[in-house]
Amino acid sequence: AKKVDYLGIEVDDLLIDLAASMADVIGLQAGFVQGDAVRPQMLKESDVVISDLPVGYYPDDAIASRYQVASSQEHTYAHHLLMEQGFKYLKSNGYAIFLAPSDLLTSPQSDSLKGWLKDEVSLAAIIALPEDIFSTASQAKSIFVLQKKRDKEIEPFVYPLTSLQDPSVLLTFKENFQNWSKGTEI
Protein backbone atom coordinates (compact mmCIF):
# COMPACT_ATOMS: atom_id res chain seq x y z
CA ALA A 1 0.00 0.00 0.00
CA LYS A 2 1.21 3.45 -0.89
CA LYS A 3 1.88 5.77 2.03
CA VAL A 4 -0.15 8.95 1.75
CA ASP A 5 0.86 12.20 3.44
CA TYR A 6 -1.87 14.77 3.96
CA LEU A 7 -1.08 18.43 4.57
CA GLY A 8 -3.53 21.30 4.92
CA ILE A 9 -2.55 24.96 4.72
CA GLU A 10 -5.10 27.47 5.97
CA VAL A 11 -4.92 31.05 7.16
CA ASP A 12 -7.98 30.77 9.47
CA ASP A 13 -7.23 29.05 12.79
CA LEU A 14 -10.88 28.03 13.26
CA LEU A 15 -10.89 26.19 9.95
CA ILE A 16 -7.64 24.44 10.91
CA ASP A 17 -9.26 23.30 14.17
CA LEU A 18 -12.31 22.07 12.26
CA ALA A 19 -10.19 20.18 9.71
CA ALA A 20 -8.03 18.65 12.44
CA SER A 21 -11.15 17.54 14.34
CA MET A 22 -12.65 16.00 11.21
CA ALA A 23 -9.38 14.19 10.44
CA ASP A 24 -9.31 12.86 13.98
CA VAL A 25 -12.92 11.63 13.79
CA ILE A 26 -12.26 9.66 10.60
CA GLY A 27 -8.87 8.41 11.83
CA LEU A 28 -6.81 10.25 9.22
CA GLN A 29 -3.22 11.20 9.96
CA ALA A 30 -2.83 14.72 8.60
CA GLY A 31 -0.70 17.76 9.26
CA PHE A 32 -2.06 21.29 9.32
CA VAL A 33 -0.19 24.56 8.99
CA GLN A 34 -1.59 28.01 9.66
CA GLY A 35 -0.32 30.37 7.01
CA ASP A 36 -0.94 32.32 3.85
CA ALA A 37 -0.85 29.71 1.09
CA VAL A 38 -0.17 32.38 -1.55
CA ARG A 39 3.20 33.19 0.01
CA PRO A 40 6.16 30.94 -0.85
CA GLN A 41 6.18 27.65 1.05
CA MET A 42 8.83 25.01 1.70
CA LEU A 43 6.92 21.92 0.61
CA LYS A 44 7.82 18.71 -1.15
CA GLU A 45 6.20 18.02 -4.50
CA SER A 46 2.82 16.29 -4.40
CA ASP A 47 0.96 13.88 -6.62
CA VAL A 48 -2.31 15.72 -5.98
CA VAL A 49 -3.30 19.19 -4.79
CA ILE A 50 -6.93 19.68 -3.75
CA SER A 51 -8.50 22.99 -2.82
CA ASP A 52 -11.84 24.66 -2.33
CA LEU A 53 -10.46 27.96 -3.55
CA PRO A 54 -11.47 31.08 -1.62
CA VAL A 55 -12.99 33.66 -3.93
CA GLY A 56 -11.97 37.27 -3.61
CA TYR A 57 -9.11 39.68 -4.01
CA TYR A 58 -5.66 39.09 -2.56
CA PRO A 59 -4.59 42.27 -0.73
CA ASP A 60 -0.78 42.06 -1.04
CA ASP A 61 0.09 43.34 -4.52
CA ALA A 62 3.83 42.89 -3.92
CA ILE A 63 3.39 39.15 -3.37
CA ALA A 64 0.82 38.85 -6.18
CA SER A 65 3.16 40.54 -8.67
CA ARG A 66 5.45 37.47 -8.51
CA TYR A 67 2.80 35.40 -10.29
CA GLN A 68 2.04 35.07 -13.98
CA VAL A 69 -1.69 35.50 -13.24
CA ALA A 70 -1.14 38.84 -11.45
CA SER A 71 -3.34 41.79 -12.40
CA SER A 72 -1.62 45.07 -13.14
CA GLN A 73 -4.86 47.08 -12.77
CA GLU A 74 -6.19 45.98 -9.38
CA HIS A 75 -5.76 43.43 -6.60
CA THR A 76 -5.44 39.95 -8.10
CA TYR A 77 -8.04 37.27 -7.50
CA ALA A 78 -6.84 35.02 -4.69
CA HIS A 79 -8.23 31.94 -6.41
CA HIS A 80 -6.08 32.61 -9.49
CA LEU A 81 -2.97 33.00 -7.33
CA LEU A 82 -3.71 29.82 -5.38
CA MET A 83 -4.15 27.82 -8.58
CA GLU A 84 -0.74 28.91 -9.83
CA GLN A 85 0.81 28.36 -6.41
CA GLY A 86 -0.64 24.86 -6.17
CA PHE A 87 1.01 23.94 -9.46
CA LYS A 88 4.42 24.88 -8.09
CA TYR A 89 4.17 21.93 -5.71
CA LEU A 90 2.88 19.33 -8.17
CA LYS A 91 5.01 16.52 -9.53
CA SER A 92 5.38 16.52 -13.31
CA ASN A 93 2.48 14.09 -13.75
CA GLY A 94 0.50 15.46 -10.82
CA TYR A 95 -3.11 16.59 -10.74
CA ALA A 96 -4.78 19.58 -9.17
CA ILE A 97 -8.46 19.42 -8.28
CA PHE A 98 -9.95 22.82 -7.62
CA LEU A 99 -13.44 23.85 -6.60
CA ALA A 100 -13.63 27.26 -8.27
CA PRO A 101 -16.20 29.70 -9.65
CA SER A 102 -18.01 28.34 -12.71
CA ASP A 103 -17.27 31.61 -14.50
CA LEU A 104 -13.52 31.18 -13.90
CA LEU A 105 -12.66 31.37 -17.60
CA THR A 106 -14.93 34.32 -18.40
CA SER A 107 -14.62 36.49 -15.29
CA PRO A 108 -12.62 39.72 -15.03
CA GLN A 109 -8.88 38.88 -14.90
CA SER A 110 -9.52 35.64 -16.81
CA ASP A 111 -7.21 36.69 -19.65
CA SER A 112 -4.09 36.42 -17.48
CA LEU A 113 -5.38 33.17 -15.98
CA LYS A 114 -6.01 31.72 -19.45
CA GLY A 115 -2.49 32.73 -20.51
CA TRP A 116 -1.04 30.83 -17.56
CA LEU A 117 -3.33 27.85 -18.18
CA LYS A 118 -2.23 27.71 -21.83
CA ASP A 119 1.45 27.73 -20.86
CA GLU A 120 1.43 25.42 -17.83
CA VAL A 121 -1.71 23.31 -17.67
CA SER A 122 -3.45 20.44 -19.39
CA LEU A 123 -7.18 20.47 -18.73
CA ALA A 124 -8.43 17.03 -17.71
CA ALA A 125 -12.01 17.81 -16.64
CA ILE A 126 -14.55 20.46 -15.75
CA ILE A 127 -17.63 19.31 -13.88
CA ALA A 128 -20.21 22.06 -13.42
CA LEU A 129 -22.05 21.58 -10.15
CA PRO A 130 -25.82 22.15 -9.97
CA GLU A 131 -26.62 25.83 -9.51
CA ASP A 132 -29.39 25.02 -7.03
CA ILE A 133 -26.86 24.00 -4.36
CA PHE A 134 -25.57 27.59 -4.23
CA SER A 135 -27.30 30.64 -2.74
CA THR A 136 -27.30 32.41 -6.10
CA ALA A 137 -26.38 31.41 -9.65
CA SER A 138 -23.48 33.89 -9.55
CA GLN A 139 -21.93 31.85 -6.72
CA ALA A 140 -22.04 28.59 -8.69
CA LYS A 141 -18.86 26.53 -8.71
CA SER A 142 -17.35 23.80 -10.82
CA ILE A 143 -14.73 21.16 -10.20
CA PHE A 144 -11.65 21.80 -12.34
CA VAL A 145 -9.27 18.86 -12.75
CA LEU A 146 -5.95 20.07 -14.11
CA GLN A 147 -2.62 18.42 -14.81
CA LYS A 148 0.83 19.83 -15.39
CA LYS A 149 1.31 20.46 -19.12
CA ARG A 150 1.52 17.21 -21.08
CA ASP A 151 3.23 16.61 -24.40
CA LYS A 152 0.12 14.89 -25.66
CA GLU A 153 -3.12 16.64 -24.77
CA ILE A 154 -6.17 14.57 -23.87
CA GLU A 155 -9.77 15.34 -24.73
CA PRO A 156 -11.12 16.94 -21.53
CA PHE A 157 -14.19 15.61 -19.76
CA VAL A 158 -16.71 18.46 -19.60
CA TYR A 159 -19.95 17.69 -17.83
CA PRO A 160 -22.84 19.76 -16.46
CA LEU A 161 -23.98 17.87 -13.37
CA THR A 162 -27.63 18.89 -13.01
CA SER A 163 -28.47 17.20 -9.70
CA LEU A 164 -26.79 15.68 -6.68
CA GLN A 165 -30.13 14.24 -5.48
CA ASP A 166 -31.38 12.32 -8.51
CA PRO A 167 -29.80 8.84 -8.63
CA SER A 168 -30.35 8.52 -12.40
CA VAL A 169 -28.43 11.77 -13.03
CA LEU A 170 -25.56 10.55 -10.85
CA LEU A 171 -25.53 7.15 -12.56
CA THR A 172 -25.40 8.82 -15.99
CA PHE A 173 -22.55 11.02 -14.79
CA LYS A 174 -20.66 7.98 -13.49
CA GLU A 175 -21.14 6.09 -16.76
CA ASN A 176 -20.04 9.08 -18.85
CA PHE A 177 -16.97 9.60 -16.67
CA GLN A 178 -16.02 5.92 -16.82
CA ASN A 179 -16.43 5.86 -20.61
CA TRP A 180 -14.28 8.97 -20.94
CA SER A 181 -11.57 7.69 -18.60
CA LYS A 182 -11.24 4.41 -20.55
CA GLY A 183 -9.99 6.39 -23.54
CA THR A 184 -7.51 8.54 -21.64
CA GLU A 185 -4.34 8.11 -19.63
CA ILE A 186 -5.84 9.65 -16.50
Residue ranges covered by each domain of the chain: 1-35, 44-182
- Cβ atoms of residues 144 and 104 within 8 Å: yes
* Residues 75-102: tens digit of each pLDDT: 999 999 999 999 999 999 899 999 999 9
**pLDDT over 80 at 1, yes or no:** no
Q: What is the pLDDT of residue 169?
A: 96
Q: In CATH, what number does 44-182 get?
A: 3.40.50.150
Q: Whole-number mean pLDDT of the chain? A: 93
Mean pLDDT of 44-70: 95
Q: pLDDT for 31-46, tens place per residue? A: 999 999 999 888 999 9
Whether pLDDT at 186 is above 70: no
List, for residues 106-127, the tens digit of each pLDDT value.
999 999 999 999 999 999 999 9
Average pLDDT over residues 171-186: 88
Is 112 in contact with 68 (CB distance < 8 Å)? yes
Confidence grade of residue 17 (pLDDT, cut at 50, 70, 90): very high
Nearest to 104 by CA among 145, 57, 68, 141: 141
Cβ atoms of residues 87 and 120 within 8 Å: yes
Residue 84: closest CA among 102, 64, 99, 101: 64
CA dihedral 36→77→85→12, nearest 10 degrees, is 20
pLDDT value of position 153: 82
